[in-house]
Each structure stands twice: as C-alpha cells, then as structure tokens.
C-alpha cells in the first residue's frame, strides 16, 4: 500500500500562487517566473505580482499581487535566532543562530506598490 501512496504523491503536480507547474498548464515564461519567485527571487516576485495585478499571462488577481509585492518588499535572509526549549533532563533552554542564507533587502519598487495598494484599501 505504501508504494502506491508514494507513487501517487510523485505524480501530483505542484503549484505556486494558483499557477500549475505541470508542463503546458500555463505559459512557459510564467511558470519559469513562478519557480524563481517561489525560490525567493525578489525581482521575480515583483514581476509576477505585476502580472497578477495587470492580468498579463495570468488571470487578474489583486490579492495574489499584494501577497507577491509583500514578499518582494520584505527583507529576507541573514541570521535568525531560535529558542530551543529544555530537553527535559535539567539542561536549560537555549537560543541558537540559524543561517537563512544571504541577506536580501526588500525591493523599493515593491514597497511603493504595497503603499499604493494599502492606500486604495484604506479608501
């Protein structure tokens, strides 16, 4: 039974932001952009957000556009500090550094687009 379960999981197509990554399910350039955005490429997140906002190669979806703008605008990478609780043997809990990759500042253009969307929502 387990091989059948794992076999069906391997055949399932993945998606990102509602875009199927199955071959031929979306424009190849949109799928390539989505893969880069999913991997954390801030420029790709911004570009895909613009496509969702304008409906260029994808169905127009301002909610997904805002989500992508937020990802592109936020700083990422660097060191995160994570609390590890006591293992229960009398040893104290501790805080350990976790490397999240190279530090990437958020994109100014994405921050500007977020400001515009937030202003529209406030009206």
Structural domain tally of the chain? Answer: 2
Q: Return mean pLDDT, the chain.
A: 87
* 81 and 47 in a common domain: no
Domain membership of residue 101 as a residue range: 76-105
Indicate the DSSP class of residue 40. T
Residue 52 lies in a domain: yes
Going by C-alpha positions, the residue among 37, 13, 11 that lies closest to residue 25 is 13
Q: Are 46 and 109 contacting, i.e. CB atoms less than 8 angstroms apart?
A: yes
* 95 and 59 in a common domain: no
The pLDDT tens digits of the residues spanning 48-102 come to: 999 999 999 999 999 999 999 999 999 988 898 999 999 888 899 999 999 988 8
* 81 and 61 in a common domain: no
Alpha-carbon distance of 66 to 43, in angstroms, equals 14
* 65 and 22 in a common domain: yes
Residue 115 lies in a domain: no
pTM here is 0.73
* 51 and 33 in a common domain: yes
């Amino acid at each position: 039974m387990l091989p059948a379960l794992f076999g069906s999981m391997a055949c399932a197509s993945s998606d990102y932001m509602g875009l199927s990554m199955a071959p031929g399910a979306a424009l190849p350039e949109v799928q390539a952009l989505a893969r880069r955005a999913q991997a954390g490429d801030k420029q790709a997140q911004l570009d895909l957000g613009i496509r969702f906002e304008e409906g260029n190669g994808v169905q127009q979806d301002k909610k997904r556009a805002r989500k992508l703008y937020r990802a592109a605008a936020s700083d990422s990478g660097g060191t995160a500090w994570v609390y590890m609780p006591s293992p229960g043997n009398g040893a104290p809990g501790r805080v350990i550094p976790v490397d999240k990759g190279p530090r990437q500042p958020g994109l100014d253009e994405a921050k500007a687009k977020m400001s515009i969307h937030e202003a529209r929502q406030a009206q």
